[in-house]
Amino acid sequence: MKSYLLSGLAALLLSGLTGLSANAQDAAAPVAVAKAKLQTGNLAPTPPMGWNTWNTFQTRIDEPLLKGMVDAYVSSGMRDAGYKYFVLDDGWMTMERDASGNLVADPKKFPNGMKALADYVHSKGLKFGIYNCAGWKTCAGYPGSRGHEYQDALLYASWGVDFLKYDWCNTDSLNAREAYITMSAALKATGRPIVFSLCEWGNHKPWQWAGGVGELYRTTGDITANFDKDKHMGTWSALSVMHILDQQVNIRQFNGPNHWNDPDMLEVGNGMSYSEDKAHFSMWCMLSAPLAAGNDLRKMSDQTKSILTNKEVIAIDQDELGIAAYKKALPDSIEVWVKPLKNNDVAVCFLNRSAKSQKLDIKWADLNLEDKTTGLNISFNTRQYAARDLWTKTATGTTKGSFKQEIPMHDVVMLRLTAK
Ligand code: GLA
């Protein structure tokens, strides 16, 4: 840590002495500039919230579709609920760079260019995100950024990009940490604040090194819209919501402001049951995960909308402490997840993973909770809380005595406890 701070300071001094500009493309300098700036970056004090094209549209994207989606983002209430980023995933480019080596927005899909779309997104009070990959090609086979990191970063900045998702396909034997540091430095060298979203699928344990490199980092492979069954895709498997949840249990201590564990985008509204969607969304909020909706915003059912825009549940995700919940198992496939919040509040989520309805009947005093990571322990013997159910939006008594409730299959009861 000490040497890190010192090298940051040295870099700062060096940049001052040499009059290095924020746009410097000198190959050696930007890494040092980036390290110096990493000390102060505060682009994602709470988990980023947004919408991404991939889960519903894959590469079938174009300007009319996306402008309609931006309009729906606003009219559906998503923006007002706190979602901010509008992110284009893979499939926005032509298959080749131009003669100068620049990426080109596919003119058939985006006849007015990418800046026009970015301007439209900004005109609605949203922020604009884009996608590329650390390898030679993106996962869908479009040109990757390998060898063009600084050039691509400058292009994104000139378009007004605010967020970059950076994937890990076709990277051969690249060193993941180095590759992501290079792109991070390239983004910082543009002088434009750009949230950097690492998408390396957790292969090289980014939770151990990505803090300071980017603001969020994928911890798993791709999600699929299934509660507890993976989907086999030939050479790989897309992961169910419960499979991904299980992969977060032992990395919760790495989560926090400006360095978020990212268990992948949301599948709410993409085919699971109402209960399953509710459980999925609740658990992502309990984890303080980034919330990237991935459904067609133009065709949201009222139920989907009521999940994605539940402000009290979102407030759990966005709690400024940024502490990911920990798990305590109860009998009968019910898990209780607990998340310490600011002002000594606590979020508690009972998750019924089984395929049948379960009757919950617990004594609060049997549920005293010990958070070894934060030291924020909860004793129901010494302190009483008022409980509020965040889905039914009703008060459900206090933590004196017992808590009884039926939980349908694949569903949750999510409470906010407020110290009395
Ligand atoms: C990878 C990523 C996905 C998506 C696709 C695009 O699979 O993990 O989230 O970006 O690539 O090709």
pLDDT tier for residue 374 given thresholds of 50, 70 and 90:
confident
Contact 279, 227 (CB under 8 A): yes
Q: Please tell me the predicted confidence (pLDDT) of residue 33.
A: 37
Range of the domain at 360: 326-419
∠ Cα 252 254 257 (to 5°):
105
Point out which residues pair with 214 in neighbouring strands: 211
**Ligand 1: which of 52, 59, 90, 163 to mutate, judged by most atoms within 8 Å of the beta carbon?**
90
Asked if residue 347 and residue 290 are part of one domain, the reply reads no
Angle CA 297–221–316, to nearest 5: 55
| 366 pLDDT higher than 90 | no
Domain of residue 395, CATH code:
2.60.40.1180
Give the CATH number of the domain where residue 266 resides: 3.20.20.70
Q: 65 and 170 share a domain? A: yes
Q: Are residues 79 and 180 in the same domain?
A: yes
Residue 367 pLDDT class (50, 70, 90 cuts): confident
CA-nearest of 385, 307, 294, 320 to 346 is: 385
Q: How far is the CA of 131 from the centre of ligand 1 (A)?
A: 9
Q: Which residues line ligand 1 (CB under 6 A)?
A: 54, 89-90, 138-140, 167, 199, 222
The predicted-structure confidence for 313-343, as pLDDT tens digits, reads as follows: 999 999 999 999 999 877 777 999 999 999 9
pLDDT one-digit tens code per residue, 70-111? 999 999 999 999 999 999 999 999 999 999 999 999 999 999
Top mutation candidate among 52, 53, 54, 236 for ligand 1, by most atoms within 8 Å of CB:
54
CA distances from 315 to 20, 305, 374 (A): 41, 16, 20
- The structure tokens listed for 93 are 């480019």
Whole-prediction pTM:
0.90
Q: Is 332 a catalytic residue?
A: no
User: What pLDDT sits at residue 22?
Assistant: 29
Q: What is the mean pLDDT of the chain?
A: 90
Domain total of the chain: 2
Which of 167, 262, 264, 345 is flagged as catalytic?
A: 167
Tens-digit pLDDT profile for residues 36-60: 344 448 999 999 999 999 999 999 9
Number of alpha carbons in the 13 Å side-chain half-sphere of residue 72:
16
Separation CA 201–CA 186 (nearest Å): 22
276 and 369 in a single domain? The answer is no
Do residues 277 and 364 share a domain? Answer: no
R_g over Cα of the chain: 22
* Each residue's pLDDT tens digit, 171-213: 999 999 999 999 999 999 999 999 999 999 999 999 999 999 9
Domain match, 235 and 347 both: no
Where does a domain end: 317, 343, 364?
Answer: 317
Task: Give the residue from 317, 347, 374 where a domain finishes.
Answer: 317
| C-alpha to C-alpha distances, 96 to 67, 93, 112, 288, nearest whole angstrom | 25, 8, 18, 38
Residues 277, 333 share a domain: no
- At which of 283, 317, 351 does a domain end? 317
* pLDDT tens profile 256-298: 999 999 999 999 999 999 999 999 999 999 999 999 999 999 9
Question: Closest by alpha carbon to 207, among 194, 196, 220, 217?
Answer: 217
Q: 62-96 burial, b for 16+ CB within 10 Å, e for fewer?
A: bbeebbebbebbeebebbebbbbbbbbbbbbbeee
